[in-house]
Structure 1
Amino acid sequence: MSAVPQASLPSLPVTFRPTRTRVVLYAVALAQLAALTAIALALPELSGGERLSFIVTGLLVGAVLLLLSRPKVVARQDGVTVVNLTTKRELAWAQVVRVNLRPGDPWVHLDLADGTSLPAMGIQPGIARDQAIRDARALRDLTEKHGVLDHTAR
């Protein structure tokens, strides 16, 4: 494994998340809810149930958009927590063998010691490619540092 300079590592705990994507999702969630609510209140020919259905639809769409903004990766002293859309997985550093972000990948993939791969949607190059690359490198460096410590402790 390569030597990781201490100065380049972020201090723990550190949270990686697609901040620009989250801002866009939050803004769209609020805008569509405001628009559907305004339409429901502005159209006098709508019944109370129809108005309510507009607002409930806005709330449901907003909930889906907020769910899409949930992913993150939290690196702590004792391991990594990967939060994706509907799942959360705690990993010890020794379980993470490699951090991958290949050209064209929608997000980082973690190769695990059990031979499986875990998507880590909290680092995604969508609208912030350079930030995602920096975050993936930082997570890779943390994995190399802490994984080596865990392996030598055995």
Structure 2
Amino acid sequence: MASLLLFGGVAVLMPSMGPGAWGPADRVAMLAIGVGIGILMSRYATIHATASDAGLTVRNLAGPRTLAWSEIDEVHFSGGMPWVRLHLHDGDELAVMAIQKADGPSAREDALELATLVRRGHDRG
């Protein structure tokens, strides 16, 4: 919302006459940038991972994906990885952007907890 207000304000307040004047296309483009940034930031705000007895639901920027515990082979969080990666039974990988290296020690704890949940899920299944 803040980006929409900021870029909308710039679009309205820029000069419409004289040197460096903004035309209607410039104003619409500035407003579109504000809308785009607002949408992107709202997607970032909804990133999460939720565990249940049945499995794990991961919501990244692209949208949610629900996995049964049996679909997850391994949890990786090492080296230069910015976030946790799940190695899936079908050979695919899935990033878990909700657990990011930038969060420091709490991210390592969350990754270990997720790995434990995956092991428990395999033991039950």
Q: Same fold (TM over 0.5)?
A: yes
Amino acid at match of 2:34: G
Aligned equivalent of 2:111: 136
Dislocated runs of 4+, deviation >6 Å: none
Aligned equivalent of 1:122: 98
TM value normalised by structure 1: 0.65
How far apart are residue 98 of structure 1 and its match? Answer: 1.5
1:72 equivalent in alignment to 2:48: yes
CA distance in 2, matches of 1:117, 1:40: 42
Residue number among 16, 30, 34 corresponding to 1:54 in the alignment = 30
How far apart are residue 87 of structure 1 and its match? Answer: 4.1
Aligned equivalent of 1:86: 62
1:39 equivalent in alignment to 2:10: yes
CA distance in 2, matches of 1:54, 1:66: 19
Distance 1:48 1:111, change over 3 A: closer
The count of residues paired between Structure 1 and Structure 2 equals 120
Structure 1: runs of 5 or more not aligned: 1-28
Q: Tell which structure's C-alpha radius of gyration is larger.
A: 2
SS at match of 2:82: coil
Residue number among 103, 116, 119 corresponding to 2:79 in the alignment = 103
CA distance in 1, matches of 2:53, 2:109: 20
Greater RCO (CA < 8 Å, at least 6 residues apart): 1
Give deviations 1:27-76, integer Å, cap 9, x for gaps.
Answer: xx72x333212222223424555434322221112212333444322111
SS at match of 2:109: helix
CA distance in 2, matches of 1:60, 1:148: 44
* Structure having the larger proportion of residues in strand: 2
CA distance in 2, matches of 1:53, 1:90: 37
SS at match of 2:98: coil
How far apart are residue 96 of structure 1 and its match? Answer: 1.4
CA-based RMSD of the aligned residues comes to 2.2
